[in-house]
Amino acid sequence: MEKRESFVQAVCKELIEDFLQFVQLDKDTSDPFSLNELLDELSRKQKEELWQRLKNLLTATLLESPVDRWQMVEVQGEDDMEVEHGFKMKNSIKIIHAITSVILASVSVISENSNFEALLECAVILNGILYALPESERKLQSSIQDLCVRWWEKGLPAKEDMGKTAFIMLLRKSLETKAGTDVCRIWRIHQALYCFDYDLEESRDIKDKLLECFISVNYIKKEEGRRFLSFLFNWNINFIKMIHDTIKNQLQGLQKSLMVHIAEIYFRAWKKASGKILETIENDCIQDFMFHGIHLPRKSPVHSKVREVLSYFHQQKLRQGVEEMLYRLYKPILWRGLKARNSEVRSNAALLFVEAFPIRDPNFSAMEMDSEIQKQFEELYSLLEDPYPMVRSIGILGVCKITCKYWEMMPPAILIDLLKKLIGELAFDTSSADVRCSVFKCLPIILDNKMSHPLLEQLFPGLRYSLHDNSEKVRVAFVDLLLKIKASRAAKFWKICPMEDILVRLEMDSRPVCRRLVNLIFTSFLPVNQPEEVWCERCVTLVQMNHAAARKFYQYACEYTACSNIAKLIHVIRQCLNACIQRAVHEHQETQEEQEKENETVLDKMLSVDDVASMAGLLEVIVILWKSIYRSLENNKEAKVFTINKFASVLPQYLKVFKDERCKIPLFILMSFMPASAVPLFSCGVISVLRNQEEGVAGRSYYTLLDCLCSWGQVGHILELIDDWLPEERPRAKSNMASKRKVQIHDTRPVKPELALVYMEYLLTHPKNRECLLSAPRKKLNHLLKALEMSKADLESLLQSPGEKSPNFSQVSALRAFSLHCRLSIHVQHKFCLEGKTHLSILEDAGFWLESKVLPLIRDQEEEHLKLQRDAYQQIIQTYLTVCKDVIMVGLGDVKFQTQLLQQSLGVMQAAPLFCSDPSS
């Protein structure tokens, strides 16, 4: 009792500190004092006395520190007088804030019998001073704003003015901040908008702020925000046009994902509207979207967003009144759009027609409904026969969507006719690959309806030859259709396209088609749910059916099964090869032969060591599978060691048995996957085999031998071999005594410079081998560059004296060596270039050599002689310019190099105009 009385008595100028102390205690969460509880316990008489005291204190405070001086004090300088006024203002605001807190708490305890005139006057005064508060007093502004909101929600006298204030303040705050709570709060008092007169000048600012809400992502994304925006359509009929124009102007900048929310705002506004407002929303907003959906160009950035809005309305067709509204609004513009002369307008109209089908008024009689549906089916047929491919494609989409959705309700004759039109005619539309592609992209839609499967199973075999369509995207779409048929079990895909056709296509087609074909036939040739022996049988079958297709199949197989299954298949094939070898070894023994006949397996009938093609195919499959899981094996050391040990134990025997060139290459590749120590006998003899190759007849197997040495880290042996075969720079002449004292050893082995260039080119061309090559010591690489640079002297000699033999290279070899010199110099200098030193200096030297040695020969020699040497000159210049072009294409040539190259090219054109013309002329 004493505390309540003390609190009421403290509300006066004399006991202001006690009053402020009470308010502070209420804010202190650790103190048990609660202002709300205290007010609730006050008697009616005490409440009225408290409110009267609050009014008196508020009036006295404002008289002592007038509002009109607050902004002045905030802006002016800090002289003594202003400091005093500033102190008074701060103290007054503190008191007003405390008063506001008590009034805010008092709103909830107002009862019907209470006399709250004094409290009303306080609320009106606080509402009046809100706009005069300095920007720094945000806490007080927020408290008064909360009071206005509470006053409006309580429905107390003067709620209109309080509601308007709260609405304006919350609206501004919600647009300035990104806090969703402000949007929720303004939705709570949205009815306060009706307190504003739309036609008054003072409402102009509120209109602008409300229009800003329609481009605020915060409002669009939040549920309460969308409710508020749809509510705004009902404020005034003239405001609807402003809203619609604002949204249309901002469509380009809005994210596409927000369009469903924009459509929802329009839909909610339409659902809640009536009378003239409903008519305006339909005619000025929804029908305007329909018009632009038909007439906007496809390339317009807002076309897809307009379609999103219309799609939302199409999806609401089952809601009451929507279907009738769509029929009524589309009627004046859609049918005209479908007959338009402009093909793009027709295609836009077709898209909307297909999406909204059937467009009808549910109030029609049965006869009117049948007539309308028949008319729309005729429109569908006309779309399929339109001269513009885009319209035909949309017609195909429409037929597939409509037949899937209304299969049970459509007459069988129309169903069959439409599907025959698609599968029998448009699937083979020679005038447009896009139309053919659309057929195969849209037919899977129909497969979603299981009732369509029996009819489609009869029609699909007619599509067999679409697998060989000359357009890649059509083939991709067709194989996707086969995958859908397989997944839905609508038909057997091999009855549509025989396996032989699929394998032929797999052998020759591009990656996108091959990946899908492998997915299609994967379970046929790698049935992971069956025993591993069956995997091997299917593998042999595939190799024997189509060798090249088998390679492609196992190249992509790792994408559709676990690496562990691939590893198992590798070892199953190894065991199969081992069994074949063992059978071949013992086949001369009669008893063994009889035993085998008794226990003969399927593989025994299919495979034999003498079947070289199958053996080579299986070895290639092992290589391809190993490559596909190479990284996984690197991460699984146990599996890697197991695989290497198993193959290391059998590879020597494989080399003895499989002597055909087709078998050797995959065997050599397999050895490159293993460390040299795993195959010691083979690894020791590789360099000898490479040395003994003959020039001009080296087979493909030498590539794999080079790969082996590179993978074993023995690229140095290759470089030594190349170095031995390439010409050396002639040493300067020494004294006779020095030459006599030096011991000279003559190597009797033949020198093979052409083969050295072949090896060098292979190393430089393949990325992994190039990395190994460039990992060699720089001194060795520089020595190679010097040896290759001698090709310049040989080319000069050949150009000056065509009949004479050059000392080091033939003409063809000299050109190849020159090209390798230029290319290798770029790689070497790019890797080892020092800061401030260009990595193109050797290439630039080659350019200067061209300008100083080759071009002068062209200028000085007679035309007849030049005609004889035309090919040589052309190849030298072309080799250099090609390398320079490649340098620029990979971004290594700076502006200086490009300028220099242009000057050199100009010099070539001026010195040799004959070489720049057509050789046939």
- Please state the three-class secondary structure of 6-69 as a single string: HHHHHCCCCCHHHHHHHHHHHHCCCCCCCHHHHHHHCCHHHHHHHHHHHHHHHHHHHHHCCHHH
Question: Mean pLDDT across the stretch 757-777?
Answer: 89
> Is residue 782 packed enough to be buried (19+ CB in 10 Å), middle (13-18) or exposed (0-12)?
middle
Query: Which of 144-158, 587-601, 696-710 has the weakest average pLDDT?
Result: 587-601
Token pair belonging to 215? 């481009």
Per-residue pLDDT of 210-250, as tens digits, reads 999 998 888 999 999 999 999 999 989 999 999 999 999 99
Q: Which of 347, 428, 357 is nearest to 393 (CA)?
A: 347
**Measuring CA to CA, how many Å separate 493 from each of 408, 463, 485, 510, 619?**
26, 11, 7, 21, 30
Rounded CA-CA distance 219/740 in Å is: 99
pLDDT in the model for residue 502: 94
For position 770, what pLDDT does the model report? Answer: 87
Residue 744 has pLDDT above 50, yes or no: no
- Residues 442-500: tens digit of each pLDDT: 999 999 999 999 999 999 999 999 999 999 999 999 999 999 999 999 889 999 999 99
pLDDT of residue 738: 45
Buried-exposed string 318-345: b where 16+ CB fall within 10 A, e elsewhere: eeeebbebbbebbeebbeebbeeeeebb
- The three-class DSSP label of residue 276 is helix
Most confidently predicted of 87-101, 334-348, 862-876: 334-348
% pLDDT > 90, the chain: 35
Residues whose CB falls within 8 Å of the CB of residue 759, separated by 6 or more in sequence, listed in order: 690, 702, 706, 718, 721, 722
Which of 783-792, 801-810, 823-832: highest mean pLDDT?
783-792
Round to whole Å and give the CA distance between 198 and 216: 22
Does the pLDDT value for residue 837 go beyond 60?
A: no
- Determine the pLDDT at residue 887: 81
Q: What is the pLDDT of residue 698?
A: 57
- For residue 617, give the nearest of 668, 679, 662, 553 by alpha carbon: 662
Going by pLDDT thresholds of 50, 70 and 90, the confidence category of residue 745 is: very low
Give the pLDDT of residue 72: 60
What average pLDDT does the segment 48-64 reach?
79
Nearest residue to 700 via CA among 725, 668, 726, 658: 668
The pLDDT mean for the chain works out to: 83
Q: Quote the pLDDT of residue 826.
A: 83
Q: Which of 162-171, 380-389, 853-862 is predicted with the least confidence, judged by mean pLDDT?
A: 853-862
**For the chain, what is the radius of gyration of the CA atoms?**
45
Question: Looking at the whole model, is its pTM more than 0.85?
Answer: no
Mean pLDDT within 164-173:
85
Q: Which residues contact 502 (CB under 8 A, 6 or more apart)?
A: 467, 494, 517, 520, 521
Q: Say how far apart CA 231 and CA 229 lie, in whole Å.
A: 5
Q: Report whether 546 contacts 503 (CB < 8 A).
A: yes
| Measured distance CA(739)–CA(727) in Å, rounded | 21
Those residues whose C-beta lies under 8 Å from the C-beta of residue 305, and which sit 6 or more positions away, are 251, 254, 256, 259
Cβ-contact 454, 415 below 8 angstroms? no
How would residue 23 be classed by pLDDT, with cut points 50, 70 and 90? confident
Q: Measure Cα distances from 239 to 198, 220, 231, 245 in Å.
A: 9, 18, 12, 10
pLDDT at position 921 is 36
Give me the mean pLDDT over the 651-669 stretch.
88
pLDDT at 598: 46
pLDDT over 60 (residue 79): no
Q: What is the pLDDT of residues 846-876, one digit of tens each?
A: 877 877 777 776 666 666 666 666 777 778 8
Return the structure tokens found at 314.
């199409």
